[in-house]
Amino acid sequence: MTIEFGNPDRPNSYIGKTVPRPNAGRLVQGRGRYVDDIVLPRMVHVAFVRSPFAHARITGIDAGEAKSVKGVLRVFTGKDIAEVCTPWVAVLAHLKGLKSPPEYPIAVDRACWVGEPVAAVVATSRAAAEDGSALIDVDYDPLPVVTDMMSALDADTPVLHEDMGDNLAFRRLHEAGDVEAAFKSAHKVVSTRFRTARHTGVTLEPRSILADWNPAEGQLTAYHATQAPHMIQTVLAEHLGVPEGRVRVICGDVGGSYGIKVHVYPDEVATAAIAKIMARPVKFVADRLESFTTDIHARDHEIEARIAVEEDGSITAMDVDDWTAIGAYSVYPRTSAIEGNQVVNLCGGPYDFKNYRAQTTVVFQNKTPTCQYRAVGHPIAVAITEGLVDQAAAELGMDPVEIRRRNMFRDDAYPVTSPANMRFEALSHHASMNKLMDLMDYDGLRAEQAELRKSGIHRGIGIASFIELTNPSPFMYGIGGARISAQDGCTVRMDPDGSLVALSGVTEQGQGTEAMLSQIVAEGVGVSPDKVRVITGDTQVTPYGGGTWASRGAGIGGEAALQSARALRESILTVAAAMLQTEQSRLDIRDGQVVDTATGESRMPLEEIGRIVYFRGDTLPKGLPRELVQTRHFITSDYPFAFTNGVQASYLEVDIETGVVKLLKHWCVEDCGRIINPQLVDEQIRGGIVQGVGGALFEEIHYDGDGQLLNGSMADYLVPMAAEMPDMVVGHVETPTKESLLGAKGAGEAGTAGAPAAVMNAINDALRPRGAQITEMPFTPERILRALGVLKD
Amino acid sequence: MSEAFRDRIDITLTVNGEPVEARVASGQHLTDFLRLELGLTGAHASCEHGVCGACTVEVDGAPIRGCLMLAPQADGAEVWTVEGLTDTAAIQDLQEAFVAKNALQCGFCTPGMLVAAKDLLSRGGIPSRQEIREHMSGNYCRCTGYEAIVDAVETVAQARAGRGAA
């Protein structure tokens, strides 16, 4: 079975073309159906009372006054919910030593961060539920708080969870080669301290769930804004004591995820528990303050790192000491050790060197839990690596592009194993860099930069090569004991009118999953994409699968769709061959018609096969297989992860009087393997770049020393707006993976992985003549002025 | 919520060209009124403090944050939401351009974006890309990175000015 991907004129050539997204027309008309748009009979609303303290013992809850509010029906405490819902412990067996205490949907006797739920008020309207929660009187006994990352393990720092013994959640040291010897004998060593700020995803649609327990059927139905419906099904079943087959998770339109909606949240589980207790539909939609205090945070890292280079620019060693503070609990079930682990796995990724040491130290603190957010760990690892490489180049007086070319794995070197023990099947760093140089006219920009510098204009060019981990096998979560599927499936069905329905375990959050699946199925069977209806996000309907995260939708879900479509094509042709009394190998399906393969002459429309199979099966030979529904699953097996690669460049201007950075242009050349829909891939890259730029320039969650979150509103937590963002040029190199027929590797996170490093390097390129350097994100005007020595206090 | 917010007030307004009479809680904002009382779920509640623009609707010809306007303040007003603007084909070219350029991903910000873009385009002429970016900066999008939105608005401006194709 092969597809001539190289031939754009092949029949049904939809893979590789820009085709319209089937759901876009609905969304531009305001006909989306997000969770908050759903109204069910007897539905009630829940609002949560949340801890105003970062750490406090709960000594009493008085709900008397709240219950007198008109519309308030019930009040639940942590103890009430614990009677129907078991706590969870977010550890994974393969992350050795990772520990975290049991976490309850609503705090039982102790609150550990500002925003942790301590009671729930259920009412006939959200407004009444909020009125009621304002009147709940909770007695707190404040406890000592842990807020500083770097002193979390000090002897005189209080231990947050007594049963854990100390504040260390996880530590991993990886060492390859002889790092100390390499640093001793190096021509130059460059050391730098990096910091990436605590971010959150700011999905425009807040986290939302509508849970409905039907005791007559013994079934829990959850309409949920999630990226992993089957994972949520498993979790709700396990902790609410409902058989897994009696939990149905339906995920309709989702208003942005970026990793935020792939986790288990205490308030959402509590909502399902309350639905079970009250035997009626209960809706919870987070408000914006709740989003800031309870959506997972990410990227809160401090890093000391050094690199050793020879006189010719060869990298001989890297040494990374990464620290991250994950809040009060490891997040269930993916855990909060993965981000630090990724930093260890990904630093130095593009480069061929031998001596590598990296350690991540993951500590608890009294803040909102952190967990996986778009491009998990990548923006940190790429900033460390590319920041060091640029500084080494500057020390050596070498061009930043040249030092990269001297160290990147050769394009013909694969397969290779990195010093972090990552196995790369095939990457294209050099081809990508060459393409970038052409796209951006690197030499021309350098000349322009030099010319403008004469007139006091400080422009910078920043380059960042990167790798991106995609398509995880069970080595990511499954081997650690988490019931998170690495496999995904697709069922494709032909109906009597010759149209197709594809049911997939991967989900749509706006990236275009359904468009991607429709064009794969269209090509796989031989119809136009508008003949394919795609259904995702319903655990009772679609094949079991992992959902959409780690850029796995196209690579895993897409391959399952292609395999099932090809299987259906064979089934259709079996019937057609019998009807036409010819050999199956002489027939093909093109644009909804069974055709003669050699001549392309139409023999029969698919509707005719549908009519015969469904209504006149008596006319077919007895025993002839007529299975017009086919299901296939796909899982990677040759490599634990696929890797994509790419390189980004930022061109910007720093106003050295005000410290303001103006982005002028941004480029990205990336290799996501087979491109299924060029427009959707480019838009994933662009959206990802801007999310990365947000981290580089604006986004930072601030806490004070008492663990109070200081900027919990969109007016105070800055995200990129249209006026500040540049136009972006996106280019591609295509190195399909050989693990699948489709060859797609995934494109959802590359933009975010590389953008912060590119911006950082560009700012430092602009500041270098002034002797300034900045490595603490976000690069605010204040920090830039401090780096320049303009601000000193 | 103080008792004053619970007071109910009679209002009469026009929504999407249809007369509406309602008795609303004085503290209910326009977005909740449209969504909960009229079933017009196109405008979305997101930040609810006037920053993100996901709830933008047209009130008496101007783009308004539905979360910053109380329903009683809309008494006597003419309100248009994405549903009505769709039914009358008032922004059909803009909607088609958004789809063609993939100027939306999750779609949550899109109804508000469309109302904001309609306002800019109603001024006529062809705004520069930077002018489009400035005008659209009251509407957050976390998915697209904005470039495709700028492309879509620019395309429609050019088409409406009779230069270039939509």
Please tell me which of the candidates A687, A722, A727 has its beta carbon nearest to residue B105: A687
The CA–CA distances, whole Å, from A338 to A91, A96, A238, A298, A560 equal 10, 12, 23, 11, 27
**Cα B82 from Cα B112, distance rounded (Å):** 8
Which tokens hold the place of A629? 């529904």
Reported confidence tier of residue B4, pLDDT bands at 50, 70, 90: low
pLDDT number for residue A382:
98
Inter-helix orientation angle B147-160/A678-697, to 10°:
120
**Cα A22 from Cα A626, distance rounded (Å):** 29
Alpha helices in A317-371 (DSSP H): 338-346
Residues of A in contact with B95 (CB under 8 A): 25, 28-29
DSSP B37: I
Give the residue from B91, B102, B151, B153 with the most A CB atoms within 10 Å of its CB, the best one to mutate: B102
Closest chain B CA to residue A130: B1
Structural domains present in chain B: 3-85 (3.10.20.30), 91-160 (1.10.150.120)
Residues of B in contact with A748 (CB under 8 A): none
Give the residue from A18, A21, A29 with the most B CB atoms within 10 Å of its CB, the best one to mutate: A29
What proportion of chain A, given as a percentage, has pLDDT over 90?
99
Closest chain B CA to residue A690: B145
A713:B51 CB<8 A: yes
Closest chain A CA to residue B128: A723
Reported confidence tier of residue A605, pLDDT bands at 50, 70, 90: very high
DSSP A200: E
Q: What is the mean pLDDT of chain A?
A: 97
A256:B142 CB<8 A: yes
B142:A203 CB<8 A: yes
Indicate if the pLDDT at residue B165 is higher than 50: no
Alpha helices in A29-156 (DSSP H): 64-67, 78-82, 126-134
> Three-class SS of residue A9?
coil
B106:A510 CB<8 A: yes
Reported confidence tier of residue A20, pLDDT bands at 50, 70, 90: confident
Residues of A in contact with B109 (CB under 8 A): 204
A683:B102 CB<8 A: yes
The CA–CA distances, whole Å, from A637 to A166, A378, A548, B141 equal 38, 23, 19, 37
Reported confidence tier of residue B166, pLDDT bands at 50, 70, 90: very low
pLDDT number for residue A260:
97
Please tell me which of the candidates A21, A134, A204 has its beta carbon nearest to residue B54: A204
A28:B114 CB<8 A: yes
Q: ∠ at Cα B52 (A693, A690), nearest 5°?
A: 15
Please tell me which of the candidates B45, B49, B145 has its beta carbon nearest to residue A687: B145
Picking from A275, A265, A231, the residue whose alpha carbon sits closest to that of residue A249 is A231
Picking from B97, B100, B161, B82, the residue whose alpha carbon sits closest to that of residue B128 is B161
**Cα A743 from Cα A736, distance rounded (Å):** 4
Q: pLDDT for A614-640, tens place per residue?
A: 999 999 999 999 999 999 999 999 999
Following CA atoms A244, A247, A248, A253 in sequence, which dihedral angle do they give, to the nearest 10 degrees?
-110
pLDDT number for residue A793:
84
Indicate if the pLDDT at residue A707 is higher than 90: yes
Please tell me which of the candidates B28, B42, B108 has its beta carbon nearest to residue A204: B108
CB A519 within 8 A of CB A702: no
> Is the omega angle on the peptide bond into residue A206 within 30 degrees of 0, that is, cis?
no
If you average pLDDT over residues B83-100, what whole number do you get? 98
3-state percent breakdown (helix, strand, coil) of chain A, nearest 5 = 30, 25, 45
Please tell me which of the candidates A26, A36, A690 has its beta carbon nearest to residue B146: A690
A202:B142 CB<8 A: yes
The complex's ipTM works out to 0.97
Structural domains present in chain A: 24-32+487-634 (3.30.365.10), 35-143+206-254+260-294 (3.90.1170.50), 374-468+638-787 (3.30.365.10)
If you average pLDDT over residues A86-114, what whole number do you get? 98
Closest chain B CA to residue A730: B147
Please tell me which of the candidates B35, B108, B137 has its beta carbon nearest to residue A723: B137
Indicate if the pLDDT at residue A294 is higher than 90: yes
Reported confidence tier of residue A681, pLDDT bands at 50, 70, 90: very high
Indicate if the pLDDT at residue B21 is higher than 60: yes
Q: pLDDT for B106-134, tens place per residue?
A: 999 999 999 999 999 999 999 999 999 99
Q: What is the mean pLDDT of chain B?
A: 95
Rounded to a whole number of angstroms, the distance from the CA of B162 to the nearest CA of chain A is 24
Residues of A in contact with B51 (CB under 8 A): 713-715
Reported confidence tier of residue A462, pLDDT bands at 50, 70, 90: very high
Please tell me which of the candidates A29, A32, A722 has its beta carbon nearest to residue B95: A29
A722:B139 CB<8 A: yes
Indicate if the pLDDT at residue A508 is higher than 90: yes
Indicate if the pLDDT at residue A747 is higher than 60: yes
Q: Burial letters for B37-67: b for 16+ Cβ neighbours within 10 Å, e otherwise?
A: ebebbbbbbbbbeebbbbbbbbbeeebbbbb
Picking from A369, A269, A291, A644, the residue whose alpha carbon sits closest to that of residue B142 is A291
Q: pLDDT for A342-392, tens place per residue?
A: 999 999 999 999 999 999 999 999 999 999 999 999 999 999 999 999 999
Indicate if the pLDDT at residue A457 is higher than 50: yes
Please tell me which of the candidates A32, A510, A725 has its beta carbon nearest to residue B143: A510
Kindly write down the DSSP assignment for every residue of A376-443, as one continuous string. TTHHHHHHHHHHHHHHHHHHHT--HHHHHHHHBPPTTS-SEE-TT--EES---HHHHHHHHHHHHTHH
Rounded to a whole number of angstroms, the distance from the CA of A633 to the nearest CA of chain B is 27
B1:A719 CB<8 A: no
Which tokens hold the place of A752? 């975010």
In the block, tokens 């609905």 appear at A26
A27:B104 CB<8 A: yes
Q: How many CB pairs under 8 A join A and B?
A: 179
Q: pLDDT for A302-346, tens place per residue?
A: 999 999 999 999 999 999 999 999 999 999 999 999 999 999 999
What proportion of chain A, given as a percentage, has pLDDT over 70?
100
Closest chain A CA to residue B41: A37
Please tell me which of the candidates B83, B108, B133 has its beta carbon nearest to residue A722: B133
CB A728 within 8 A of CB A689: yes
Q: pLDDT for A387-443, tens place per residue?
A: 999 999 999 999 999 999 999 999 999 999 999 999 999 999 999 999 999 999 999
Reported confidence tier of residue A502, pLDDT bands at 50, 70, 90: very high
Indicate if the pLDDT at residue B163 is higher than 70: no
Reported confidence tier of residue A242, pLDDT bands at 50, 70, 90: very high
A723:B130 CB<8 A: yes
Reported confidence tier of residue B3, pLDDT bands at 50, 70, 90: low
Closest chain B CA to residue A678: B102
Q: pLDDT for A125-159, tens place per residue?
A: 999 999 999 999 999 999 999 999 999 999 999 99
If you average pLDDT over residues A553-566, what whole number do you get? 98
If you average pLDDT over residues A162-183, what whole number do you get? 98
Closest chain B CA to residue A507: B106
Reported confidence tier of residue A61, pLDDT bands at 50, 70, 90: very high
| A253 contacts: CB under 8 Å, gap ≥ 6 | A23, A27, A32, A33, A34, A508, B106, B107
Picking from A436, A435, A408, the residue whose alpha carbon sits closest to that of residue A424 is A408
B47:A713 CB<8 A: yes
